[in-house]
Chains A and B, each alone.
Chain A
C-alpha cells in the first residue's frame, strides 16, 4: 500500500491486524488438526477450514481474486472431492493410524520450517535492486519489453499493452491496484504459455483418470 492511503487506513489497521492473527492461527491450527486427528472425514473438514482461513488472509492482502479462487477451487471442489473419496473407504473414524515414521516426518517438517524461517529472516530482502513495492506489478508487466513500441506485439495487441501500461501507472501512483485485471492481463501476456499448458495438463489428467477407471484389472505379468 502506498503512503497516502496508509494514513486513512490507520483507523482500520488494528482491526486488520487482529483479523490477520486470527486467520493465521485458524489456518495453522486447521493444518495441525488435519495431521493429528484420527477421523479421516474430520481431517478433510479441517483441511477445508484451513483453506478458508488462507483465503481470508488473501482478502486481507487485497488479493480478492486469489482469495475467491482459493475458496472456489480448494474449499468448493478439492475438499468436497476429498470428502467424497473418504466416504468410500472402509474405516473412516479410525482410518488415519499413526504412521510409523511419525517422529522422522515431524523432524523433517521442523527442519524444513526452520530452514525457511532462517532464510526468510536472514536474507537481505530490502537490498533487492531497484525493485520497490510500487514496482511489483511493473516488474512483471513492463520489464521484458520496456519500450512497448518495439515489441512484436505492439501492433497485434495494442489494446492489451495499453491496459498493462495503465496498470503499471496505477501501481506507481500508489492507487488501489485492480488485482483481478492485472492477473487477467498477465495471463494473456507474460504467462500465456503456462496458462495454455495448464489446459493440456487438465486434458491429460482427465484422460488418465478415465483410462484408469475404464481399465479392467490386469496384473503386469
Chain B
C-alpha cells in the first residue's frame, strides 16, 4: 500500500475517495466520499480512474502525432498539408476519427469472427500498457516497475500475435502473406532489440526506467552509440514503420493484414500504428536521450516531450525518405548486421563495466570516447563482410528493356530502327 501511496496521482484520488484510513490520515487527508469498509472499492476505482486518464492522454497524443506527421510529410513533398479544420488544420485527425466511426462495419463472410474481432483490441491494449511504466517527468509516472524495460519488451511482442491473428482471421491470401512476414520480422528483430539495451542496463545497473534516467549523467546515446542505432532500427521494425513496413506493403499486398478491416476496427489498427511510434519514441527518449532530464527552469515534462518530438521527427523523416526493402534483405540485415553489432556492443560494454563498475560522469565520457571509434570501425567491417556495395546499374541489361538516357549519342543501329 505504501508503495502505491508514494505515487502522488494515486494518493490524491484514493485518499479523497476512501474514508480517512490510517494511511491517508497520516498524510493529512480529511473527509472522504466513501464510507468505511469500502477501501477495496476505492482502490479499484482509483485504478480505473488512472487508466482512463492515461488512455485519454495517449489518445490525444496520437491525434497530435497524426497531425504532426501529415504536416511534416506535406513539407517533405513541398505541399501545405491539412489546414482546413481548426487552426493549422489541428482538428483534421478529429474529423478523420469521426468519419472512421461512422463508416459501415463490413466483415468478410468467411472470416473467423472471434479472432477477427479480438485482433484489433489485442493490437491496441499492449501499446496502452507500455505508457504505464514510462516516467514522463519527475514523479510523473503510473508505475515504476523494477523490471520496467523488460516489461515494455514483453508487452510489445504481443502486437505480433495480434497481427498474425488479424492476418489469419481475415482469411485472404495477401493477409496471410503479411502475417508470415510479420512473424519473421518480429522474431528476427526482437533479438537485436533485446540485446541492444543490455549495454544500457549494465551501465545503469537497473531495469527500472526511473533509475535508468537518473543514471544518465551523460545521455546514453553518446555512451552507447551502437546500442542506440540497433535499438532505434529494431524498434522501427517492431512498429512496422517504413522502411520495415513489409506487413502492409501497399504495392505488393494491398494493405496486408488490414485488407479486410473496415470502420473502427480498421481505426484501431490505424491508432495502434501511430501509438507504436509514440511508444517507441518515448522508450528511446527514456533509454538513450536521458528522459526527462534537462535544465531548469523548464519543467522536466517539457524536456521529455521535446526530446520525444525530436525522435518522432526523425522517424517521420525516415519514413518519407527511405524506400521499402525486400523481406530477405530485412532478415539478412537483422541477422548479419544488427546482431553482430549488438554482440560487439555487449562485449565492449561488459569490458568497460568491468573496468569502471559504477561509472562517474567522467568515466561515462571516457566510455563514450572508446565506444565511438569502435562503432565506426564495426560498421565499416560489417559492411565489408556483408558485401554492401554501391548499387551497380547494369546498363547493358537495362538498355535492352528501357531506353536509358545517357550523354553519349545513341548507337547507329538503334537510331536507324527508330
The answer to whether B2 touches A83, judged by C-beta atoms less than 8 angstroms apart, is: no
CB distance from A119 to the nearest CB of B (A): 33
B84-92, B153-161, B252-260 - interface stretch? B153-161
A152 CA to B357 CA, complexed, in Å: 22
| CB–CB B164/A84 < 8 A | yes
- B155-180 vs A: 1/0 string, CB under 8 Å? 10110110011001000000010011
Is B112 within 8 A of A42, CB to CB? yes
**B180 & A68 in contact (Cβ 8 Å cutoff):** no
Complex-state Cα separation, A46 to B155, whole angstroms:
17
A48→B146 contact, CB < 8 A: no
Q: Is the interface of B mostly helix, strand, loop or mixed?
A: helix
List of B residues within 8 angstroms of A79 by Cβ: 161
Q: Do A15 and B187 have beta carbons less than 8 Å apart?
A: no
Interface status of A127 (Cβ within 8 A of chain B): no
CA distance A39 to B186 in the complex (A): 24
Determine whether the beta carbon of A77 is less than 8 Å from that of B190: yes
Partner of A176, one of B3, B154, B179, B207: B3
Chain A proximity of B14: nearest CB distance (Å)? 9
- Distance A65 CA – B154 CA, assembled complex (angstroms): 11
Taking a contact as CB atoms under 8 Å apart, the answer to whether B161 and A75 are in contact is: yes
- Cβ of A41 < 8 Å from any Cβ of B? yes
Chain A residues contacting B190 (CB-CB under 8 Å) are 76-77
Instruction: Give complex CA distance A22, B253 in Å.
Output: 40
Least CB distance from B105 to A in Å reads 22
Given A48-B161, A81-B187; A69-B43 close (CB under 8 Å): no
Residues of chain B contacted by A72 (CB below 8 angstroms): 150, 153-154, 157
B155 touches A81 (CB 8 A): no
Question: Does A87 have its Cβ within 8 Å of any Cβ on chain B?
Answer: yes
Q: A9-B1, A84-B164, A180-B146 are in contact. Are A71 and B40 (CB under 8 A)?
A: no
Q: Bound state CA distance, A77 and B161, in angstroms?
A: 9
- Asked if B183 is an interface residue, CB under 8 A from chain A, the answer is yes
Q: Judge whether A81 and B40 touch: CB under 8 Å.
A: no
Q: Is the CB of B40 within 8 A of A83?
A: no
Interchain CA distance A69-B194 in the complex, whole Å: 12
Q: In the complex, which residues of chain A have a beta carbon less than 8 angstroms from the beta carbon of B357? A: 159
On chain B, the residues within 8 Å of A80 by CB distance are 157, 160-161, 164, 183, 186-187
At the interface, yes or no: B98 with Cβ under 8 Å from chain A?
no
Describe A's contact surface by its main secondary structure: helix
Q: How far is the CA of A75 from the CA of B180 in the complex (A)?
A: 17
**A87 / chain B contacts, CB cutoff of 8 Å:** 164, 168, 176, 179-180
Residue-wise, chain A 1-28 has the 8 Å CB interface mask toward B (1 for contact) of 0000000110110110000000000000
Interface membership of B39, Cβ < 8 A: yes
Query: With the chains together, A77 CA to B18 CA distance in Å?
Result: 42
A64 within 8 A of B: yes
Other-chain residue from B1, B151, B183 in contact with A11 (beta carbon distance below 8 A):
B1
Query: Counting chain A CB atoms within 10 Å of each CB, which of B40, B145, B176, B180 scores highest?
Result: B40
Contact status A12-B40, CB under 8 Å = yes
A67 to B386 CA separation, bound complex (whole angstroms):
38
Assess the B183–A81 pair: CB atoms within 8 A. Answer: yes
Which residues of the partner chain A approach B183 to less than 8 Å between Cβ atoms? 80-81, 83-84
Docked complex Cα distance between A21 and B154 (Å): 23
Asked if B44 lies at the interface with its beta carbon under 8 angstroms from chain A, I say yes
CA distance A87 to B23 in the complex (A): 54
Contact-residue size bin, chain B (C-beta under 8 Å from the other chain):
35 or more
Taking a contact as CB atoms under 8 Å apart, the answer to whether B147 and A65 are in contact is: yes
Identify the closest chain B residue to A17 (Cβ): B40
Complex interface: chain A residues within 8 A of B43 (CB): 11-12, 15
CB distance from B207 to the nearest CB of A (A): 6
B-contacting residues, A62-101, CB 8 Å: 64-65, 68-69, 71-72, 75-77, 79-81, 83-84, 87, 93
- A178–B158 alpha-carbon span in the complex (Å): 26
Contacts A12-B1, A87-B180 given: A76-B207 contact, CB under 8 Å?
Answer: no
B160 touches A64 (CB 8 A): no
Residue of chain B at shortest CB distance from A11: B39
Could you say which residues of chain B place their CB within 8 Å of the CB of A71? 154-155, 157-158
B308: shortest Cβ distance to chain A, in Å? Answer: 24
> What's the least CB distance linking B117 to chain A, in Å?
12
CA–CA, A178 and B206, complex, Å: 11
Give the shortest distance, in Å, between B134 (CB) and chain A (any CB).
16
**B56 in contact (CB, < 8 A):** no
Contact A83 B147 (CB under 8 A): no
Q: Is B114 an interface residue (CB 8 A)?
A: yes
In the complex, what's the smallest C-beta–C-beta distance from A76 to chain B, in angstroms? 3
Q: A45 at the A/B interface (Cβ < 8 Å)? A: yes
The distance in angstroms between the C-alpha atoms of A195 and B154, with both chains bound, is: 21
Q: Say yes or no: B207 contacts A180, CB within 8 Å.
A: yes
A15 contacts B40, C-beta separation under 8 Å: yes
B1: A residues at CB distance < 8 A: 8-9, 11-12
List, in ascending order, chain A residues with CB within 8 A of B114's CB.
42
- Residues A75 and B115 in contact, CB atoms below 8 Å apart: no
Contact B157 A64 (CB under 8 A): no
* CB pair A41 B168 closer than 8 Å: yes
Inter-subunit contact A69/B150 (CB<8 Å): yes
Q: Which 8 A-B pairs have the closest CB atoms?
A: A76-B157, A71-B154, A72-B154, A11-B39, A8-B1, A14-B40, A84-B183, A68-B150
13 residue pairs from A and B, CB less than 8 Å apart: A11-B21, A41-B168, A42-B112, A45-B165, A52-B158, A68-B147, A69-B150, A71-B154, A75-B157, A76-B190, A80-B160, A84-B183, A176-B3
